[in-house]
């Protein structure tokens, strides 16, 4: 059988409020990619990874970087507009945490997909994402995903379209999820301090000039009202 390969690259810039460690920590929580992937509808962690998969030279040494495997369910809409035009299938997907991000491998019905997420400096990203999107401009750090899909040649047009649709926004979604998490943590800290009285709020009464007509032509300022707490 003649096999075809297709490579795809996508990226998203990290805002100044995030560090590479923030993104890498999110990637090492495998639920991040499993829940943000557009086609995934469910997943279950498996107790072990097959010996055949561990022999793949794609991985870093598994004894140093353990591999975790999940049964992942994806749903594909092959005929738009009708419920029976959807097809759900389950396949093994493997994750390996790396120093700079995450490596993954999925084996699904004659389709082999390998992907790697890396947090790299912005100066390194121009060649990585050439031709994808509108460019990232001058940024310090970038989350990049490199994807390689392999399948029979006659399946490639369909597989390519579905793969690119599923992975196109994944880097942006990861960054946005981490930003939202940081914002929620900041709000929770503020609410917690206010609730414990750590940073009491001091009421301020504005001092405003009275109209001259009310004071016989003389402009005076009103005294602030005293606020008594019960």
Residue 204 lies in a domain: no
* Cβ atoms 155, 8 nearer than 8 A: no
pTM for this model (two decimals): 0.75
In the chain, the percentage of residues whose pLDDT exceeds 90 is 55
Residue 101 lies in a domain: yes
CATH number of domain containing 23 = 3.30.530.20
Nearest CA to 102 out of 20, 199, 182, 161 is that of: 20
Residue 226 lies in a domain: no
| Whole-angstrom distance, CA of residue 35 vs CA of residue 33 | 5
For residue 139, report the phi and psi dihedrals to the nearest 5 degrees: -135, 155
Residue 193 lies in a domain: no
Residue 196 lies in a domain: no
| Whole-angstrom distance, CA of residue 182 vs CA of residue 23 | 11
* Cβ atoms 92, 105 nearer than 8 A: no
Residue 202 lies in a domain: no
Residue 141 lies in a domain: yes
Residue 161 lies in a domain: yes
What are 51-77's pLDDT values in tens digits?
999 999 999 999 999 999 999 998 877
Nearest CA to 100 out of 75, 120, 74 is that of: 120
- What region, left, alpha or beta, does residue 41 occupy, with left being phi > 0 and alpha being psi -120 to 50 degrees? alpha
Tokens of 113: 């997909």
What are 167-195's pLDDT values in tens digits?
989 999 999 999 999 998 888 888 877 76
Domain that holds residue 28: 3-187
**Contacts from 75-80 at CB under 8 Å and sequence distance 24+?**
75/39, 75/41, 76/39, 76/162
Q: What is the mean pLDDT of residues 113-139?
A: 70
Q: How many domains does the chain have?
A: 1
Q: Map residue 85 onto helix, strand or coil.
A: helix
């Amino acid at each position: 059988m003649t096999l075809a390969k297709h490579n795809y690259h996508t990226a998203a810039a990290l805002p100044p409020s995030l560090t590479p460690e923030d993104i890498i920590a999110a990637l090492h929580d495998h639920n991040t990619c499993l829940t943000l992937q557009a086609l995934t509808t469910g997943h279950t962690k498996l107790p072990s990874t097959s010996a055949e998969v561990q022999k793949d030279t794609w991985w870093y040494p598994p004894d140093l970087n353990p591999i975790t495997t999940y049964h992942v369910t994806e749903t594909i809409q092959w005929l738009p507009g009708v419920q029976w035009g959807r097809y759900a299938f389950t396949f093994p997907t493997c994750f390996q945490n790396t120093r700079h991000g995450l490596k993954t491998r999925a084996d699904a019905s004659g389709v082999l997909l390998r992907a790697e997420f890396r947090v790299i400096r912005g100066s390194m990203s121009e060649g990585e994402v050439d031709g994808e999107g509108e460019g990232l401009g001058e940024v310090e750090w970038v989350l990049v995903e490199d994807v390689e899909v392999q399948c029979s040649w006659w399946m490639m047009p369909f597989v390519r379209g579905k793969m690119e649709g599923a992975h196109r926004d994944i880097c942006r979604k990861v960054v946005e999820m981490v930003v939202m998490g940081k914002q929620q943590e900041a709000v929770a800290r503020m609410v917690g301090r206010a609730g414990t009285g750590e940073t009491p709020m001091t009421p301020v009464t504005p001092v405003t000039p009275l109209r001259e007509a009310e004071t016989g032509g003389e402009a005076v300022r009103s005294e602030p009202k005293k606020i008594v707490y019960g």
